[in-house]
Structure 1
Amino acid sequence: MRRAAQEATLLITVVVLALVVWFVIADAENREIETRLGFSLQVDVIDLGSNLAVVGDPLPVSVTVVGREEDVESARPEHFKATVSLRNRSAGRHSLPVRVEAAEGDVRVRAVQPETAVVILQETVEREVPVVVETSNPPPLGFRVGASEVLPESAIVSGIATEVEAVDSLVARLDLGGATVSVERSVLLEARTAGGGAVTQVVVNPRFAQVRVPIDQELFRRTASVLPDITGTPAEGYRVSSVRVSPATVDVLVSVDVLDAEVRVLTQPVDITGVEGNVATAVALVFGGGAAPAGDSDTTARVVVVVEPVITSVRLPVDIETFGVREQLELSFAWPLTAQVTLRGPVALISALTGPLEPIQVNLGSYATGRHRIDLSWTPPEGLELVELAPTQVTVTLNAIPQPEPEEPTDPEVDESPDEEQSSAEEDESE
C-alpha cells in the first residue's frame, strides 16, 4: 500500500511540473510587446468631393503598435492602411486626424505620429487633351511603322487648375518589341507637359486608350526588265527573226530580301505555233519573285514577234529552147542546150518546186544567117530570186535552107508548019 501511495504521489508531481513548464512556455510565446514600427505609412485621402482635388500629398506618419512579438516583428507597410477622411470638406486648408488600421495580423495600433495631417483642397477644373502615341523598339530592317491609330483620340483631364493647365498631351507609350506584324493593345495614358515631364496630380478619363500600330514590310522601288514569254514554233520553213516588247522596263516594288537580286517581269505567254507572219499583241505583265508593280507603272505590254521565211539557195538545170527562125533559114547549131540557175528564197517555196523548170526561151526571129552569141534571160518563179544564170549566152548558127536549081525550059516538037495546018484545014472544009 505504501508503495502504491508513493507512485501516485510521484505521478502527480510529474504532471504538476509539466503543467508549470507548459504555462511558462505559452506565456513566453504569447507575450505582447509595444514598439514603434521601423517604417512610415503614406496617408491616403478618402471621401474626396467630386469637384475637389488635393494639392500635394499629406506627410507620412509613424505608428506605435502592440501585439505578440512574432506578429510585430513580421509587420510590413502593406499590413496597414493610413487614411484621412475629407467627407463634407470644402476647398481650403484642413488639419484632419489620421486613422491607421491593421489589415493583417493580431496587432493593435497604440499611437500615430503626427496624429493629424494637413490637407489642402482646391476646386478642380477639366479640359480635353489630345492623345499622342509614342512607340519604342521598332521592327527590324525591311519593315516600317505606319501611322498609329488610337481610340479615343482625346481624353478629359481634371484636377487643380495649375496642374491641368500644365498638361500638353496624354501619351500612350507602346513597346513594339521588334514586331514584324501590326500591334494592337490597350495602353495607359500618361499626362505630360510640353517638355515631356510627367504630370501626376491630375485625373485622366478614360485612363486607357486602344492603340493600333500598323507594321508593313517596307518596299523599295527598282527598275526591272520586261521579258516576253514566247511559246510554240512558227510554221515549217519560218523562223523568229526578232522579238520586241514595249515598254522594255517597268518600275517595281520589292522587299529588302530581294533588293539585291535580279528582278525580271514576264509577259503573259504569246503563242506563235504555226504562224507564217508577224504577230503583234497586247498582253498583261506577270510580276513574280517578290516584285509588285509600282503605283504608276504599266501592267500591260505590246509584244511584236517578227516571223520571216527561212532563206536558202538551190542550183537547178533549165532547158534552153529556141523559136522564131525566119523562113528560108534553119538552125544548124545551138549550144548549150541547158543552163544552170541558182535560186534563192524561202525554204517553203524552194521545196515546192516540182518537175522541170520553165525553159529559157530564145527568140531567133531577128537573126539572119551566120553564127550568133545571144544573151540568155529567165524569169524565176514568184517569190524566188535568180542569183546566177550560167552560162549567160547561147551560141547558134543559122543557115539558109538550100533551094533546088530551076530546070531549063525546052521547045515543043512542031509536026506541021502553020501553012500546012491551014491548007489541011481548007481541004477539010471543001470536002
Structure 2
Amino acid sequence: MRWARENMGLALLAFGLAFALWAAAVWEENPPVERSLTDVPLAFQGLASDHVVFERSAERVRLRLRVPRAMEGTIVPQDVEAFVNVSGLGEGAYERPVQIRVHRRSIQILEVDPPAVRFRLERVESREVPVSIQILGQPAIGYQAGTPLPALPQVRVTGPRSRIAVAAMAVGRIRVEGARQSVETEVALEAVDSEGRVLTEVQVEPARITVTVPIEQRLGFRELPVRVNLRGRPARGYQLTEIAVDPPTVTLTGDPRRLEEVGSYLSTEPIDLSEARGELIAEVPLVLPPGVALVGAPNQVEVRLRVEPILSTQVFQQVPVVVEGLRPGMIARLSPETVDVIVRGPLLYVESLQPDQLRVWVEVRDLERGTYTLTPTVILSATVTNLSWTLIPPSLQVTLMPAPTPTRTR
C-alpha cells in the first residue's frame, strides 16, 4: 500500500505520456481538416401550430467544420441540423441565433454563416377571394376573345395575418395568341393585393384551376381555306403527289352580306400542270369576289407542287444465272440454274425494259472445289439509276468440281 502511494505519481505520468503518444500517432495518421457545408436548410422549432414564420433573412446557412481526414469525403448536410428556437414567441419581429445540432461524432463546428436570422411571426389566417383571369396575346386576325370563364369564381388564400388582410384576388394568366377557337387550359393562381403586387408566403387553394376563353369571329370578317386551281395533266408516267399552300387559310373583310355570299373556299388563279415533273413553286394570285378584301396579307399565296414518277413493277421469270471467274479445268453446277427478277421503278422505264437488258451472275473467282451458297448480282444495261430489284430465290447453291477427263479412243 505504501509502495502504491509512493509510486502513484509515476504511474499517472506514465499513463499521460502513453496517451500523448497515442494521440500524436492518431493525429499524424488521421489529422483534422476543415470542410464547408453549404445550403444547410434552416428550420424553426417550437413554432405554434397557428403561427407562421415569414420575411426571414435567410432560408439556409453555411457551416465551416473540422473533421478527421478519414471522414472528410463522407460529410453530408444531413449530418448536421440548423435551427432557430421560437418556443413561446408570439407575433412580432425577432432576431435569434442559429443553433446547430450535430448527428455524427467528431464533427466540430467552427463557424455558422449567418450566425443569426431576422424574421417575423404572425398568426395564420385564411379567407376566400375572387378569381381574376388575365388574357395574354391576341387571337388570329378577324377573331376576338370573350370573357374568361374560370372553373371556380373564388378560391381560398392562407398565410400570415397581415398578408391575408390585403389580399384582393387570385390572379391567373391564359395565352390566346393566334387562336381561332375557344381556348381551355389549366392555369396557376397567385394571390395579389389591390395594386397587383404578388403576395409571398400566401398559399392559394386550389393552386391551379381550369379556365375557358371563348374565341369568336368578329362581324365583317370571314376565314376561308385556299383551294389550288389546277389545270392540265403531268407528263406521261408522272403523277401529282403533294400540294402545299402557304398560308393555307386567309381572312376576308367586307360587308357581312357580301361575305355570306362567298363560297366555302377561296380559289387561286389556274396553275398549268401540263407536262410538269419534279417540284414546282410559284406565287399565285387569289381570285377575290367583288366587295371583299384580304386582311393582313398580299393577294397571293405560295403554292408548292410535287410531281413524281408513277412507280411500277415488272417480273422477269427464269432468268439464266451466269458463272463468272471459273478456273480452268473446273465446272460449276447451279441449283437452281435460273431465278426470277422483280424490278421496281418509274413506270416508263420499267415498262420499256427487255429481258436482254438484264444479266444475273455469280462470282466464283478464288473459290476452291466445294459447294457454296452465293447471292447473285444483277446488272441492268439500261442507264437508269432509280430502279430496285428482288431475286427469287435470293441465293442459290453453286458446286465447283473438276471437269471430267475426256475418254481416249483407240
Q: TM-score, normalised by structure 1?
A: 0.38
Q: TM-score, normalised on structure 2?
A: 0.39
